[in-house]
Structure 1
């Protein structure tokens, strides 16, 4: 049921919105069973909250979520990127992802490309647990990002930050790449906090 995930990350199903199994089953032309299973999967990815009696809702983007996600990313992603650089991993594929993200007008596509760009920088770190944890935050990061991009057009700033991160990584300057990744995560988190009620 990628349709539900797509609708959440495209902002068609908004944060806090109730997800009624019968309505979703009708919408997607399936029985309630695959919808129920999809909602459980999406809950595991942090996109959906399952209540005991109230059913499922799209996860709300609140200060606690932003703090938790970006604190963990801030701790793990910079050293993971630094380790990839030190390992001499070919990071040139990130150039194409960055170009494609700049060229698209779709916030959803940009969000996907943004996540792939970050993953390309950290996936060669050699620490499978670190990769698994960072991958596990990708959907939550996407939900936060799509929510923010609706109210603040910050992509140009982020694209510049991505370019600087990539330039440092491609030049083999692991320490500078780590510093820029940490600053990027911190600045994006600050933008998120500024938009929260």
Structure 2
């Protein structure tokens, strides 16, 4: 798990935003985090988040991800840089009885997110709040910025990739994988019935 907020393939500007946001939590600057959680009131922390945006068209994404970060970190004393895409993070939503695609609420939420033509800010806020409530790691904040900046890029297929990451079955451990002898036994048993 990364401790800098920058992962492979993340942009410098998204990593810099994540590092600054993490410094607010690390330095216990709860006033700035509270300001970021006020989406309609724009004060210095909000404008500072926008400074990290390399273009004017990307400012909304930087401001909104700063808001989501502040929502997740409300009352927390350690920064969580998160890992994976939003689809991977949504697999962590749920309880012991059902997580990810086995959790009907998480599945409906992801379906709403990935079927949206516009960036679904309200549903993303709900996903972050659910991860916080389940005490699960958020998505990589830097990657979230980069993914959302590509939301309308048909070649990037961000929504599709999030859906695939959410619905993919968990990787099997070597002990769970069928061996050739057990597979042959299953085939032999099927042919005798």
**TM-score (norm. length: structure 1):** 0.35
Relative to total residues, which structure has the larger helix share, 1 or 2? Answer: 1
Report the structure number with the largest CA radius of gyration. 2
